């Protein structure tokens, strides 16, 4: 089966175009309302003390001249000093919202491209209109709130290069950055202001403790309280953990807690966590240790239970501040707590047990990703990953596509982990199972990394068919990013591997991708030769869908060569074949080509009929990127008819889609309209 067998479908609530159709022939489109304005700042929480100077400086920063260029502030300090909390308080202290929106971006364990895509989505941009290349994505992000002041909080930045893409272009905008590093480059390049988040002093450390466990408790033991504050080293994470322990154990004297910490060793903060840890039940302590072995940054309850094999309480770990629950219902460790948990795992778990956690996490994701791939692309698609056993509610109550998208960072992390631990079959199977996501969402950098690791893993176990499959598929992502030589290299490696394997469908798939490469690089004649080879192989394998899709590609390549009679015949055949296998999207794409043939041959009425039919089908399916394409074709047709009003109607409709959903073609369409 061809690799053009996945598409994005709208289901549930739709914020995009609404198609009203009795008989397909006329379509009424109601455009959505105003663009979304994100308001993502975390909730302001109690027990925030001793940041008066910071808040004063922030007030000055946030209330400066609204016509000023974008201002940047870096909140820097030790891990655990409260930078994230301080940034949230500073951002939330402005009484009036920013007209361009307020974004909160957590960069821990995420790429810049991933985080930037999430920002663009928060403005209502649809996935199929989000570009993959970082420069295009950055431009799209800045256009979302162009001309309006925005606030952006960038949490856990590790290097200056992560900041630049997120800089808004609206006057009066503010960017708050948290980092363990001072990021001095930003001072020179952007005039950033550095706000040092110091550990709390003795007075304010005591205030934070008192706000949690009450002042009377501390007043009864003033010397011991002062020692406890000193042992916590002014770090809010440690002070909150100590305060929570005193609340939970009403009979525990402050002096006894201090003695317990002292008995644990020199690293007092780690010792405090050890004091809390020792009171956990055996099962919850085991859960704590094993969670630190997970190869992902954040995790849900189901993964925690299956991977750790422990029935301990996540709620208990959250209650004693050893684990943080996110707004999305997932959990993660604070970096200081994670270090402590890893130390406990090394001391309390055997190497076999530690590896077992990682392997079970990999298997958790492999089963669900493989099931999603089967669900989305169908059981007949060429794949080498064994069919997984069905699971009850494998995707946590959401559809498989949404699950893959939400878990993509974790699944990619497990691909890396599987390879690094030497579980190469699991590594390539995970990489192959991500195909459904990458075909639909075009996370090109992730696609390349996953395929590279998967191909290396397949090579390590001598699986030449899988290596050929992953390398050839990787060529599409490389080509989309403009890496022509690397894409050609992957195809050159894949073809002999496929042909030596004797797998006809695999060879057909590689030949199809070679054709796509030649088409994209401007050699349609050579592309047709590759496509014909693919069709011959698909035909021998009785793969009707593969034949249908590649026939469409042949037709468009013939059109590019101005071989109109052959293109017309081939595209008509492609429409029939695509409809026969139930793919209306590909049939409509072939229809755009056929309508263009009619235009080139002067058959303007036939062109209108074909293009209208394609438009209706694409609107009904929600395929907005191809809707723009067919409307441009209809605008070209209007030019040939001398109907400037119709030309403007079609181009305006195409432009409206691009503007409403943040598509990258808006400027070109405006120029075409003459605006």
Each residue of 18-72: pLDDT tens digit?
A: 333 333 333 333 334 456 889 988 776 665 665 667 667 767 777 767 788 898 9
Q: Contact at 8 Å (CB) between 384 and 466?
A: yes
Could you tell me the CATH number of the domain that includes residue 304?
Answer: 1.10.10
Burial of residue 562 (CB within 10 Å: 0-12, 13-18, 19+) is: exposed
What is the spatial distance between Cα 270 and Cα 359, in angstroms, rounded to a whole number?
28
Task: Tell me the average pLDDT of the chain.
Answer: 87
**pTM, entire model:** 0.74
| Dihedral class, residue 482 (left if φ above 0, else alpha if ψ from -120 to 50, else beta) | left
Residue 176 belongs to some domain of the structure = yes
- Of the candidates 469, 538, 464, 470, the one whose C-alpha atom is nearest the C-alpha of residue 501 is 464
Q: Which long-range contacts (CB under 8 A, 24 or more apart) does 66-69 make?
A: 66/149, 66/171, 66/172, 67/171, 67/172, 68/171, 68/172, 69/171
579, 628: one domain: yes
Q: What is the pLDDT of residue 48?
A: 64
- The answer, yes or no, to whether residue 7 has pLDDT greater than 60, is no
Q: Which of 196, 228, 244 is the last residue of a domain?
A: 196
CATH value at residue 156: 3.40.50.300
Q: Alpha-carbon distance 393 to 376, whole Å?
A: 16
Pair of tokens at residue 660: 């409403």
Reported confidence tier of residue 425, pLDDT bands at 50, 70, 90: very high
Give dist(CA 288, CA 322) in Å, integer. Answer: 8
Low-confidence winner among 121-135, 338-352, 508-522 (lowest mean pLDDT): 121-135
Same domain for 650 and 675, yes or no, is yes
Q: Let me know whether 274 and 292 are in one domain.
A: no
Predicted confidence (pLDDT) per residue in 241-291, tens digit: 899 989 988 899 999 999 988 887 657 788 888 888 988 999 999 999 999
Whether the pLDDT of residue 529 is over 60: the answer is: yes
Which of the residue ranges 31-35, 150-154, 650-654 would you say has the lowest mean pLDDT?
31-35
How many other CB atoms are there within 10 angstroms of residue 61's CB atom? 17
Cα dihedral value 380, 381, 384, 385, nearest 10: -80
Q: Same structural domain for residues 92 and 107? A: yes
pLDDT tens-digit series, residues 540-555: 999 999 999 999 999 9
β-strands 193-196, 324-325 pairing = unpaired
Q: From CA 261, how far away is CA 238, in angstroms rounded? A: 12
pLDDT in the model for residue 315 = 92
The domain in which residue 268 lies consists of 202-278
Q: Which residue has the tokens 């992957």?
A: 490
Asked whether residue 340 is domain-assigned, the answer is: yes
Q: Average pLDDT for residues 160-172, to the nearest whole number?
A: 91
Q: Look at residue 606 and tell me if it is in a domain.
A: yes
Dihedral sign computed on CA atoms, order 617, 619, 620, 623? positive
Report for 94-98, 186-190, 255-259, 428-432: range of highest mean pLDDT: 428-432
Number of domains in the chain: 4
Shared-domain flag, residues 266 and 305: no
Contact of 17 with 624, CB cutoff 8 Å: yes
Residue 139 has pLDDT above 90, yes or no: no
Q: Looking at 257, 278, 299, which one is the last position of a domain?
A: 278
Same domain as 106, residue 155? yes
Say whether both 176 and 219 belong to one domain. no
């Amino acid at each position: 089966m061809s690799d053009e067998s996945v598409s994005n479908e709208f289901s549930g609530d739709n914020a995009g175009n609404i198609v009203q159709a009795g008989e397909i022939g006329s379509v009424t489109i109601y455009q959505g309302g105003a663009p979304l304005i994100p308001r993502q700042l975390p909730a302001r929480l109690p027990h925030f003390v001793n940041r008066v100077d910071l808040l004063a400086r922030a007030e000055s920063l946030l209330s400066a001249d609204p016509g000023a260029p974008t201002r940047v502030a870096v909140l820097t300090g030790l891990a655990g000093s409260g930078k994230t909390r301080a940034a949230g308080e500073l951002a939330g202290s402005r009484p009036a919202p920013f007209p361009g929106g307020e974004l909160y971006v957590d960069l821990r364990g995420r790429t810049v491209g991933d985080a930037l895509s999430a920002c663009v989505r928060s403005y209502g941009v649809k996935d199929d209109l989000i570009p993959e290349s970082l420069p295009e994505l950055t431009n799209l992000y800045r256009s979302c709130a162009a001309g309006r002041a925005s606030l952006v909080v960038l949490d856990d930045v590790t290097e200056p290069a992560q900041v630049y893409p997120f800089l808004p272009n609206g006057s009066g905008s503010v960017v708050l950055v948290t980092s363990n590093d001072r990021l001095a480059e930003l001072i020179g390049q952007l005039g950033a202001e550095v706000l040092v988040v110091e550990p709390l002093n003795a007075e304010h450390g005591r205030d934070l403790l008192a706000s949690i466990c009450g002042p009377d408790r501390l007043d009864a033991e003033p010397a011991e309280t002062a020692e406890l504050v000193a042992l916590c080293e002014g770090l809010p994470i440690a002070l909150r953990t100590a305060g929570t322990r005193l609340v939970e154990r009403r009979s525990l004297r402050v002096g006894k807690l201090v003695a317990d910490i002292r008995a644990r060793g020199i690293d007092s903060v780690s010792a405090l966590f050890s004091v809390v840890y020792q009171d956990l039940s055996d099962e919850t302590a085991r859960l704590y240790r094993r969670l630190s072995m997970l190869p992902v940054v954040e995790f849900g309850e189901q993964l925690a239970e299956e991977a750790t094999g422990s029935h301990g309480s996540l709620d208990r770990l959250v209650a004693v501040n050893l684990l943080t629950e996110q707004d999305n219902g997932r959990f993660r460790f604070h970096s200081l707590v994670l270090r402590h948990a890893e130390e406990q795992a090394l001391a309390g778990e055997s190497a076999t047990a530690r590896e077992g956690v990682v392997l079970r996490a990999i298997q958790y994701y492999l089963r669900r990703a493989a099931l999603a791939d089967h669900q989305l692309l169908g059981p007949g698609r060429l794949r080498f990953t064994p069919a997984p056993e069905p699971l009850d509610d494998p995707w946590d109550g959401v559809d498989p596509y949404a699950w893959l998208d939400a878990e993509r960072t974790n699944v990619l992390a497990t691909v890396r982990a599987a390879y690094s631990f030497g579980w190469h079959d699991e590594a390539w199977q995970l990489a192959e199972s991500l195909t459904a996501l990458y075909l639909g969402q075009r996370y090109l950098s992730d696609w390349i990394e996953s395929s590279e690791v998967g191909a290396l893993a397949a090579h390590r176990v001598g699986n030449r068919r899988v290596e050929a499959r992953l390398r050839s598929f990787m060529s599409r992502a490389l080509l989309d990013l403009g890496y022509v030589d690397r894409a050609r290299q992957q195809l050159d490696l894949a073809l002999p591997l496929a042909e030596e394997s004797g797998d006809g469908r695999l060879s057909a798939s590689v030949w199809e991708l070679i054709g796509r490469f030649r088409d994209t690089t401007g050699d349609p004649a050579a592309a047709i030769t590759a496509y014909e080879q693919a069709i011959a192989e698909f035909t021998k394998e009785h793969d009707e869908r593969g034949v249908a899709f590649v026939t469409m590609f042949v037709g468009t390549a013939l059109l590019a060569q101005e071989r109109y009679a052959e293109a017309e015949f081939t595209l008509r055949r492609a429409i029939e074949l695509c409809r026969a296998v139930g793919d209306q999207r590909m049939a409509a794409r072939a229809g755009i080509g056929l309508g263009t043939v009619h235009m080139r041959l002067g058959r303007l009425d036939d062109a209108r009929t074909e293009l209208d039919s394609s438009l209706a089908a694409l609107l009904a399916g929600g395929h907005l990127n191809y809707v723009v394409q067919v409307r441009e074709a209809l605008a070209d047709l209007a030019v040939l008819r001398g109907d400037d009003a119709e030309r403007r109607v079609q181009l305006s409709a195409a432009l409206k889609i691009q503007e409403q959903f943040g598509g990258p073609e808006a400027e070109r369409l405006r120029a075409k309209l003459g605006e």
